[in-house]
Amino acid sequence: MQVSRHVGQSVCLGALLLGSLSCVCAVADAADARRLNVLFIISDDLTSTALSCYGNNVCSTPNIDRLAARGTRYTRAYCQGTYCGPSRASFLSGYYPHATGVLGYISPRKAIGDRATWPQHFKNNGYYTARVSKIFHMGVPGGIEEGSDGADDPVSWTERFNSQGPEWKAPGDGETLEGNPDGKKPVVGGNTFVVVEADGNDMVHSDGKTAKKACELIDEHKSKPFWLGVGFVRPHVPFVSPRPYYKPFLPYSTMTLPPKVPGDWDDIPKAGINYKTSVNMKMDERRQQKAVGGYYASVAYMDAQVGKVLDALHAAGLDDSTIVIFTSDHGYHLGEHDFWAKVSLHDESAQVPLIISVPGKQPAVCDSFVELIDLYPTISGLCGLEVPDRLQGLNIAPTLDNPDADIRDTAFSVNGKGFLLRDNDWAFIQYGEDAKGGLELFDMHKDPKQYTNLAGDEKYASVVENFKSKLTAKLATVRDNDL
């Protein structure tokens, strides 16, 4: 019998003639070897302005910086929800929050039915998929203290691992900064501004355990394609890190706070005042400075854990076969406008760090608007997987070859009260689909820090009306889905 030289036919006939699948397995292994791995690293509540690769001169992040030095760093990446649950549900499902209806802290599975999440799509295509700690939403600190799964999606994973830690209960020197003007309140849990200069080393805490497990999984699964999600919970409150990470930020009085602008809130709708402010948290200047120092220490600790994971990837010989992504679920206010934490639709909260390193691609900085929802289709395509037509994100892969490529002219984000449309010239925020909650409009060239709301100025009426129309069209588009 004459055997064809075509590989596929050779495999089939060889298996039949020899009565063995060894040849098939060899070809399958070769196919696996050509597939790129995905290492997805996400920090919790991280503003890009805290990273030295994004220009911070106080908080040094050498490990994230070295990833940026070999990848593409995006300067205008935006989340689709400015708090944890909706953001993560969006980029993991491939749908905008108003498509899934996931505007709270729940898994998107109920909304998307049997449609595959981003990691599940890779699992369905033969990848080993695993998460370590917080990838889908997980309560911090509560879920970390319990070591529980949170609003996870079990079918997305081959395996999943939680990283239990003491959080605010960690031994050390702690202070509650929020709602504690007389200094008598003990260290407390919950979504509260607390700083703990902790005793012990990195492995006392959740993120140290997450890094260790991630390193083990990289080594264990280096011979097969994997999609590994590594979820660090710092710098989410409480700001807890081992003592050495605080040293660069002591004394806290050296921390510089954003400028306080008289009347800053006067032209902002009530819905636009953030849920955490210096006023309602009763944080004086000393406590605000300590909050910044504690946040930076948490960032430095998280950066060190990122370094361990990158070192493990290198030690496993996988640098040239692994796409590495680093990002956050949303940004964070550190006193800008006297706002703190997330949720607002200003740039500090809606914009996120995003670095994508792809083997064979040159390092670059890209200023195109991109969105976290773009990760699912982009990374799927780069790994040679079919990209489902239903996905609402865009393929931003062209920016990896040409950082001057423009993918989007507008970014879109929501916070449960309103909507952000952000383009090159303007930031437009509308509260409520009927705009009854108010409007904000900022000239991002003249007023990049967003201090002067122009929405009520008749000179900009046409700009406002244009954005209202754009928003109506955008909402119709994001709701036009197969759910």
Cβ–Cβ under 8 Å, residues 137 and 84: yes
**Taking the C-alpha atoms of 24, 29, 33 and 39 in order, what is their torsion angle to the nearest 10 degrees?**
130
Pull the structure tokens for residue 297: 């220490």
Q: Decide if 383 is catalytic.
A: no
Q: Of residues 84, 215, 366, 383, which has the active-site annotation?
A: 84
Cα 294 to Cα 302: distance, rounded to the nearest angstrom: 12
Write down the H helix ranges in 345-453.
347-350, 375-382, 398-401
Cα 72 to Cα 364: distance, rounded to the nearest angstrom: 5
Pull the structure tokens for residue 36: 């790129």
Nearest to 108 by CA among 99, 100, 98: 100
Cα four-point dihedral sign 48, 40, 195, 272: positive
Cβ–Cβ under 8 Å, residues 413 and 395: no
Q: Coil, helix or strand for 392?
A: coil
Q: Is the bond preceding residue 141 a cis peptide, omega within 30 degrees?
A: yes
Q: Of residues 59, 79, 121, 137, which has the active-site annotation?
A: 137
Distances from the Cα of 313 to the Cαs of 135, 207, 297, 321, 449, in angstroms?
19, 17, 25, 10, 38
| Residue 31 DSSP label | H
Contacts of 5 (CB under 8 A, 6+ apart): none
Q: Decide if 84 is catalytic.
A: yes
Look up residue 369 and give its amino acid. Answer: F
Cα 387 to Cα 221: distance, rounded to the nearest angstrom: 25
Pull the structure tokens for residue 18: 């020899």
Cβ–Cβ under 8 Å, residues 135 and 372: no
Nearest to 227 by CA among 41, 50, 73, 366: 41
User: Known catalytic residues?
Assistant: 84, 137
